[in-house]
Amino acid sequence: MKKLMIAGATSGSGKTSVTLGILSALSDTLRIQPYKVGPDYVDTKFHSRITGRQSRNIDSFLVPDEHSLKYLFERDTSDVDLGLVEGVMGLYDGLGTDKDAHSSASIAKTLNIPVVLVVNGRSASTSIAAIVKGFIEFDPAVPIVGIVVNNVMSQNHFDLIKGAIMRYVNIPVLGYLPFKKSLSLPSRQLGLVPDNELPAVDSKIAELGKLTKAHIDLKQLLALSGTSVDAHLPSPIVTQQVDLTLGIAQDDAFSFYYQDNLEALKEAGVTLKSFSPIADKALPEGIDALYLGGGYPEEFAAELSANTAMKQAIRAFSQANRPIYAECGGLMYLGNQLTTSNGTFNMLGLLNGESEMTPRLKRFGYCEASPVVDTLIGAAGTKLVGHEFHHSVFTANTGLEPVLRMRKVRDGAVVDEWPGGYQVRQTFASYLHVHFYQSKTVFNGLLDRLGARVHASH
């Protein structure tokens, strides 16, 4: 397949609009596998909505092994024409000041993906050439092959910017997207509002596709793409087949799952049965364990609270000592109460503590975790890596003790430490989002503790 990354000079440059426009413009004629750099759950849904293929996260902090990262990028792509990667933040932004610490630029170098840089043209002309020149010279090993200008006010404005770039930098300027306030997608908590909550999302995406066809040279863009092959390698973490049926919460309140996590479970023989904590009155039949992912339970707190039949079913499941694994939004759902701007709502009451929404982001970014006792996610002393991102705090009451030692390391120094994660019986919940491909030890250990029965091995 051809491969290309759309990266921004900064957050807000317009890389998401350009990515969605290209996906919309080309999906009718090409089979596209979309990707997102970083631990993002929302942009990937927009990608999948357009292409009909599940977008994948490519993240070198969450998946530190380079071979695993390459496997996740190339697997199941033999029928794909184009792998299109949307970057994260600015091209060189990652963890700390190191330009190669999990940035879009480092992914582009590791996977040899040509980069199209998106720059914000609003309120500037020749100065954009200085920005482009700086980005290219900052790390010549990053394969920047072309430029797209966003937020252009007129054809004359674009001609000025393009002329300056060609004069001072001499790199292909592939086109632009005009400034159109009506096409901006609303944000929530440093990211887009999920596609399923936007009534006019398809018409906005279609309009972005039309503008992309009109103003960006897609033929030249494809000519600048690199090539990659599906190597048909075995999964680096799926090393056994198990007998396990897993109930997975999937609705408007719980939708944050890495696609590769779900694929790994299925490849290992796990049967996934979806259910809705908002709408369903009972858990799926025959399940051995539950997986409650992240999402926006605060947006649907009243509905979750009102569904007493589902709350009682999950409580009974936990009280029968059945395994429950929960991340972030799942943690909030498992507590006693959830307080939002609309009031306080009763949740499951399996964890003796309360969640409260906060006006500011409480934690954001990569972190390391180590269980201090044996837990569902890992034995005591296991090293875990993950990501926290939440506008809430969970306050544990007397008797509920944290089971994870959390820390953030930046530029080689520990910059923060805190306790986190809770386990009651076989119910584990924390704010930590984890990628199963971080190691086969983490993945297979979780399968074992979820009650999987091994019935064959590769």
Cβ pair 56, 437 in contact under 8 A: no
For tokens 């009031």, name the residue: 343
Cβ pair 254, 211 in contact under 8 A: no
Percent above pLDDT 90 for the chain: 88
Please say if 328 is a catalytic residue: yes
Helical ranges in 244-377 per DSSP H: 259-267, 301-306, 308-319, 329-334
CA distance 343 to 340: 5
Instruction: Please report the pLDDT score of residue 172 as a whole number.
Output: 98
- The single residue of 22, 42, 132, 328 carrying the catalytic annotation is 328
Instruction: Please report the pLDDT score of residue 181 as a whole number.
Output: 78
pTM score of the predicted model: 0.92
Instruction: Please report the pLDDT score of residue 363 as a whole number.
Output: 78
Question: In the chain, which residues have pLDDT < 70?
Answer: 185-199, 453-458
Could you write out the DSSP letters of every residue in 96-152? BT-TTSS-HHHHHHHTT--EEEEEE-TT-STHHHHHHHHHHHH-TTS-EEEEEEEEE
| Position 324, amino acid | I
CA distance 305 to 254: 14
Instruction: Please report the pLDDT score of residue 288 as a whole number.
Output: 96
CA distance 257 to 41: 7
Q: Among 262, 259, 265, 330, which Cα is nearest to 292's?
A: 330
SS3 (DSSP) at 56: strand
